[in-house]
Chains A and B, each alone.
Chain A
Amino acid sequence: MNDAFGNALSFRYELLLPEIILAITAALVIGADAFRSELRLGRRILPWLSVLGLLVAGGVSLLWIDESSDFQLLLTIDNFTTFFRVLFIATAVFVILGSHEYVEKHIGHIGEFYALILLSTVGAIYMAAARELLTAYVSIEILSFSLYVAVSLARNDRRSGEAALKYALLGGVASAMLLYGLSLLYGVGGSTQYAEIGAALAGGAPGMTLPLLLGLALIIAGLGFKASAVPFHMYTPDVYEGAPLPITAYIAATSKAAVLALFLRWFSGPLLPAIDDWQWMIVGLSLASMALGNLIALQQHNIKRLLAYSSIGQVGFMLMAIATISEVSASALLLHIGGYLITNLAVFTAVIALYNRTGTEEISGFRGLAQTNPYLALVITAGLFSLAGMPMLAGFLTKFILFQSASQGGYLWLVTFAVMMSVLSLYYYLKVIREMYLHQPDGDPSRWRLTPTGYLATGVLSLGMVVVGVYAAPLYTMADRASRVLF
């Protein structure tokens, strides 16, 4: 008891500061929103307050590169956590910057919107940081619950409520599966701490084959749902379509990356000894995701649904790195996640800006964008080409490294299939690009401009896309350092 107390005093609490700042900012945002009329605050204060909190938290996280501390093995702040911390905070910043105009027009509860983004970022970061099953589970739920609510926030859109309900119900089922899987894993490993589970599994866990398999299957099903991997993807298109656009962007970016962070922590550490039991499951999941996601995306007419299916396909690519887990593929996956987040945010920010103007989510709404706003058309084109993996843009290099690392793990056939699917994806991205460049605008053909923050967000993200696509060394080095602590 005394020992624990002594340890508790010696913890380096300052390493948790970023999340504390985020949580306080969230509270401030809600408070400011509630007393806005009393305090005579404008609405604009909320996004700026959120961005300020995020920037401070992000700046503080950068101070602790190469620092590490584990809090009684509950969670670890190390380079891996820091990598995702910075990534998630940056994602939140860009989602907020890119969407404040949208939020004012289409979101019912503005304070909640920003607070939920901040809180879910905390959940996502702790998913990457957790070193113990229950901490991980609670982090997942912080993220999930925030998102269930956030999905329902669109004003005057019945699809939003429907999507939220669907997401919450199915998400609940997935959480139940995950929890059951975790309890089986606890039964096998005798502990909830990653380190001890790993040790127990390395010992072979005699007589536990069936519970272990069942536990793994349930865990993978639960996580597969959160990452929207086939066959647990059914909700994704509806939720993406129903959710307000910024939240769709946020789900596609942070939520997906956080689940992959969790995958990395679990499958590189505690579950690695049982690789023969789960590898085929992940391979199957990956194969199904990239096939189905890309094939169904071919026939979508709604940009949100198209991006939903394309993101399912992208998860398939990323799961290859989990299936062939090694230090090499982990760093490749981190690099790819970095590039993917930048690309995805660039596309979504641009789509949000377009939606603010046209009010339609149909791909036909992109018609003639090259004439009415050539800059935006260029950003979207670059983003889509990057998603398809064309050079000069992040997608080419990060995908190349990711695929190369997976082929090094002995799965050249899977990689070949992935490249084929990646080629297929180019077809539907080109369909969008065709609308922008080959057709005349349907409505008003005059030129229009983005808001200053719109220019800022899309500009920085596009630049990031090109920088990562041409000179990925800094990001790759960071990814490499982050992945070293895993093994």
Chain B
Amino acid sequence: MTESDGYILLALFLVPLGTGVLLMLTPSRERAAVIGITGLSSLAMFVLSVYVFAKYSFTGAQFQGVLAITWMENVGLLSEKGMQLKVGVDGIAAVMVLLTGIVIMPGTWVSWKIQDRMKDFFILLYVLVAGVYGTFVMLDLLFWFFFYELALLPMYLLIAVWGSTRKEYGAMKLMMMLIAGSVLIFTALFAMFNELGTGSFDMTQYFAAHFDPTFQKIFFPFIAIGCGTLGGMFPFHGWSPDGHAAAPTAVSMLHAGVLMKLGAFGIIRLGFQMMPEGGAFWAPALIVVGITAALYGAVSALRQTDLKLMTGFSSVSHMGYVFLGLGTLNVIGWNGAILQMFAHGIMTALFFLLIGGMYDQSHDREIPNLSGLARQMPIWSIFFVIAGLASLGLPGMSGFVAELHIFIGAFRAYPIIGGLAVLTAAITATYLLRMFAAAFFGPLNPRWSGLKEITWTERAGAAVLVGAILLLGLWPSPWVDRIAPTIIQSIPGVTL
């Protein structure tokens, strides 16, 4: 990528923000206009994301498309290059940008069903997406945090207004826990800025800073727990099942699919890349947290009867793999962690899309009540089974590639943990297959004889996501080629 591609990176978050402004000026009753604008805008985001991913050259520098616009400098506590609008992606960020693009387009499509205040929904949703894109591409610490918080800002209203089941409780819990997590990030940022002492928020300086090892050991946990809260890290995951169960379809998709990855991304960017020694010191703790979350989430998912709660706990479990992979500190484990972020993002978005498509008609998500849906909604069921198989790591699907990397990495670092991770995969298979049996097969519950197949927009959205699942599952090298060099370039402590 060249510097001019930096403008593409800027466009990534300016497009959704601009769309938000445009929507504000559109009268709410013009539903067709709202649909047209959001359709075009989400397509643009998708295309831009694919472009960024494709153009990222895996033989080039670590950060590509770097573009810096001076925002504030030489004033107050800011010295030269104090605060810049500085964008650029490394291989990890490029993968995350692609993930966001793939999830937002179907997320937009399925939200066209919303009847109540659709325009307002999209304004908030696109602010969220702008925050997500901004965080992935930003190379200025202050702006990074700005976008990180921006992604959380619309959450409360999105869930509380358009959600379902205990939505106010879920919204408030999610919002308060996530913002509370950012207290720790705030503190670590202040400390790092003071420790660096150049009066600049330019991330490049932080990557090169080599902070004092004691400092790193003290402040790495701040970042890990602060960002980890958003990443659904055990034991700070409490908001996740409730929040996801309450959120409307598109928000669940984006939140579980992309926003949780923002947390893990924060741990990599602010944690490992800026404080590698602190990260190495705390890596065993990440392993413990990761494997606990994986097991705990899987076992909890076994017990759930609400389909969305089950998926929520499954997310906790799958994000546990991510932290496990990061904790291995070897390239293959890290590769797996980042692939898992992508794979889980796509797969969980597909889950939520499908659950939403069904729930909108049935208004029931209790697995025991669902029975024989495969006869009533065969296409829906096929998509669902694909998502499930990806989730349990069937070869040929994205989940397999990711989990295999993580398992190998874990076996190399800690064989026993590797064994536990495989056990988790077995539990995952159990709850998913059991759910398939209960919900899809068996006699058709007469309550569902009126259910219709999911709509064409939902089918199209699901098809996009399934395409991504299969592509990564069958041909993972474009991903690995981008991720692996970045890991080696940017994480000093990592071994092969």
Contact = CB atoms under 8 A, between A and B. Distances in A.
Nearest to A397: B146
A408 B71 contact: no
Given A404-B193, A430-B156, A476 B72 contact: yes
B191 interface: yes
Interface residues of A, number: 39
A433 B76 contact: no
Interface in B139-171: 142, 145-147, 149-150, 153, 156-157, 160-161, 168
Interface centre among B172, B175, B187 (most CB of A within 10 A): B187
Interface stretch (B176-184, B332-340, B357-365): B176-184
A387 B127 CA distance: 19
A335 B156 contact: no
A102 B153 CA distance: 33
B150 A426 contact: no
Contact of A403 (B71, B180, B186): B186
A173 interface: no
Taking chain B's interface residues, is the majority helix, strand, or loop, or is none over half, making it mixed? helix
B204 interface: no
A437 B161 contact: yes
B190 interface: yes
B153 A390 contact: yes
A119 B172 CA distance: 45
A412 interface: yes
B146 A401 contact: no
A480 B76 contact: yes
A436 to B, nearest CB: 10
Contact of B187 (A396, A415, A427): A415
Interface of B: 71-72, 75-77, 120, 127, 131, 142, 145-147, 149-150, 153, 156-157, 160-161, 168, 172, 175-176, 179-180, 182-183, 186-187, 189-191, 193-194
B176 A437 contact: no
Contacts of A471: 71
A438 B71 contact: no
A276 B72 CA distance: 33
A181 B453 CA distance: 79
Contacts of A400: 142, 145, 186
B75 A416 contact: no
Contact of A332 (B72, B76, B127, B189): B76
Contact of B146 (A374, A396, A427): A396
Nearest to B117: A370
A256 B187 CA distance: 27
B259 to A, nearest CB: 15
Given A328-B76, A400-B142, 9 more contacts: A331-B75, A331-B77, A404-B189, A407-B193, A412-B194, A415-B186, A433-B156, A434-B168, A476-B76
A408 B77 contact: yes
Contacts of A403: 186, 190
B153 A392 contact: yes
A423 B176 contact: yes
Contacts of B147: 391
Q: Which of B127, B142, B156, B186 has the most CB of A within 10 A?
A: B186
Interface in A381-405: 385, 390-392, 396-397, 400-401, 403-405
From B142, B161, B183, residue with most partner A Cβ within 10 Å? B183
Nearest to B160: A438
Interface string A204-223: 00000000000000000000
Interface string A468-483: 0001110011011001
B157 A419 contact: no
A39 B128 CA distance: 58
B76 to A, nearest CB: 4
Given A391-B146, A396-B146, A437-B161, A480 B75 contact: yes
Given A404-B190, A426-B175, A426-B176, A396 B72 contact: no
A423 B149 CA distance: 12
B183 to A, nearest CB: 5
Nearest to A385: B153
Nearest to B130: A392
Contacts of B160: 434, 437-438
Contact of A391 (B153, B176, B186, B187): B153
A476 B83 CA distance: 12
A420 interface: yes
Contacts of B145: 400
A419 B189 CA distance: 12
A401 B183 contact: no
Nearest to B83: A473
A423 B183 contact: yes
A420 B226 CA distance: 13
Given A385-B153, A419-B183, A423-B176, A412 B190 contact: yes
A415 to B, nearest CB: 6
Contacts of B72: 472-473, 476
B176 A407 contact: no
Contacts of B191: 407, 412
Contacts of B183: 416, 419-420, 423
A407 B157 CA distance: 32
A134 to B, nearest CB: 32
B71 A407 contact: no
Contacts of B193: 404, 407-408
Contact of A328 (B77, B157, B175, B190): B77
Query: Ordered nearest first, which 10 A-B pairs have the shortest CB separation?
Result: A407-B190, A331-B76, A473-B72, A328-B77, A391-B150, A391-B149, A391-B146, A480-B75, A419-B183, A419-B186
Contacts of B153: 385, 390-392
B59 to A, nearest CB: 36
B75 A412 contact: no
28 contacts: A328-B76, A331-B75, A331-B76, A374-B120, A392-B127, A392-B146, A400-B145, A400-B186, A404-B189, A407-B190, A408-B77, A412-B187, A412-B194, A415-B190, A419-B183, A419-B187, A423-B176, A423-B179, A427-B172, A427-B176, A430-B156, A430-B172, A437-B161, A438-B160, A438-B161, A472-B72, A476-B76, A480-B75
